[in-house]
Amino acid sequence: MRETHRSVSIRRPADEVFAYLRVYDNQAAWEDFVLEARSEPPGPAVVGTRVHKLRRTPLAEERFTLEIVAMDEAARRWADVALDGDLAGTRVEWAITPTADGCQLDVRVELHAHGLLKRLMPVVWRTARRQLRTALDSLTRVLEAGRAAPAAP
């Protein structure tokens, strides 16, 4: 297991960013390696929501499922865990804090790998860090440009 953390400042209101990120179906719009994300039930994530994703990896496409395991709407904090796939057990914690000119998004990833990926953990970890940086930069651009689709009701 390895951890990585990334923070970005976003010039949008914290509540708007929180509402957008809670709709996991939006992830394909800002994570270039996510080809598809579909929530059950649809709409803003709550504890127990499952998100079925298809992502592109250097070797192939992979389907896996996340589950929302924690949600504190008042504090704008939540966590999801990968239930299956080569990164099963990987936990991502999200936190949004208001700032004077928008908000700060903090993301902490506790990366777990299995099978071949476990033996390649140094490479997997570097790739995950790079993908996190790229995804959050893309998210910031999408939100600040106003190109984000409105959050589902």
Peptide bond into 13 cis (omega under 30): no
Measured in residues, the chain has a length of 153
pLDDT of 57: 77
pLDDT of 118: 64
pLDDT of 113: 75
Q: What is the pLDDT of residues 82-112, one digit of tens each?
A: 999 878 999 999 999 999 999 999 999 998 8
* C-alpha torsion sign, points 40, 41, 43, 46: negative
Q: What is the pLDDT of residues 57-83, one digit of tens each?
A: 777 788 999 999 999 999 999 999 999
Task: Tell me which H or E stretch contains 98.
Answer: strand 91-99
Separation of alpha carbons 66 and 88, rounded Å: 9
Q: What is the pLDDT of residues 17-62, one digit of tens each?
A: 999 999 999 999 999 889 999 999 999 999 999 999 998 877 778 8
The answer to whether residue 151 scores a pLDDT higher than 60 is: no
pLDDT of 34: 93
pLDDT of 128: 77
2-144 maps to CATH 3.40.50.2300: no
